[in-house]
Chains A and B, each alone.
Chain A
Amino acid sequence: EAGVTQFPSHSVIEKGQTVTLRCDPISGHDNLYWYRRVMGKEIKFLLHFVKESKQDESGMPNNRFLAERTGGTYSTLKVQPAELEDSGVYFCASSQWTRQETQYFGPGTRLLVL
């Protein structure tokens, strides 16, 4: 069974540009989460999808971040326009509906905004 995959693995962009991160969860997992770790800080929750609906987006830092989950399958996280403080590692995780906190994480996307 394939695990959670994320694309790209690395992205280097300039301040003001747009970047879109993609996450493919484990097949059959209704729950999909985005987290991020910025330099020197702890891993922080961003948002939670149940199928295609946003269940909790309390961790989204501001309106420059837009997450979607088309058809309840893969998800994208767009940052527009990117700022220097957005640099960090963005993790995606998925879980079954009945075991929300048992999450399987992808390898992360390392974003560097110059």
Chain B
Amino acid sequence: DAKTTQPTSMDCAEGRAANLPCNHSTISGNEYVYWYRQIHSQGPQYIIHGLKNNETNEMASLIITEDRKSSTLILPHATLRDTAVYYCIVAGGYGGSQGNLIFGKGTKLSVKP
């Protein structure tokens, strides 16, 4: 079973920031937080990952709380093409999944004009 909890759906206005929350209260000390998304009819797409520090790349920012029990994925300027299901996945670390990603139900983000 997935070790994360996410809202089922969210809406965001085009051009505004989309903030997608994720709870992972049972995360172990050496596990990472990964975010993937699946745009309709495509394969999942890697977005970003982090351990305990905030991370930013060309797609998004990842904010992880100090206790690491929750995180937020931020899309700074959402576009219609960001409409997708977003998955927060806890993985990796010693004795961890060794690459086996456990997908939950994710958050369906709808970006509206």
Q: A106-B43, A107-B42 are in contact. Are A101 and B102 (CB under 8 A)?
A: no
Are A105 and B103 CB-contacts (below 8 A) given A55-B98, A56-B98, A100-B98? Answer: no
B113 in the interface (beta carbon within 8 A): no
Q: Do A43 and B103 have beta carbons less than 8 Å apart?
A: yes
Task: Give the residues in chain A near B38, CB-CB below 8 Å.
Answer: 43
Instruction: Please tell me if the beta carbons of A105 and B44 are within 8 angstroms of each other in the complex.
Output: yes
Asked whether, in the complex, the Cβ of A42 is within 8 Å of the Cβ of B46, the reply is no
Judged by a CB distance under 8 angstroms, whether B45 is at the interface is yes
A43-B44, A106-B43 known; A101 vs B103 contact (CB < 8 Å) = no
> How far is it, in angstroms, between the C-alpha of A103 and the C-alpha of B32 when the chains are bound?
14
Tell which of A43, A45, A101 touches B34, judged by Cβ atoms closer than 8 Å.
A101
Distance of A91 Cα from B38 Cα, bound (Å): 12
A31 touches B99 (CB 8 A): yes
Question: Nearest Cβ distance between residue B2 and chain A, in whole angstroms?
Answer: 8
Interface residues, chain B, with chain A CB atoms under 8 Å away = 2, 32, 34, 38, 42-46, 49, 89, 91-92, 97-105
Instruction: State the A residues within 8 Å of B (CB).
Output: 4, 31, 33, 35, 42-45, 48, 55-56, 58-59, 91, 93, 95, 100-108
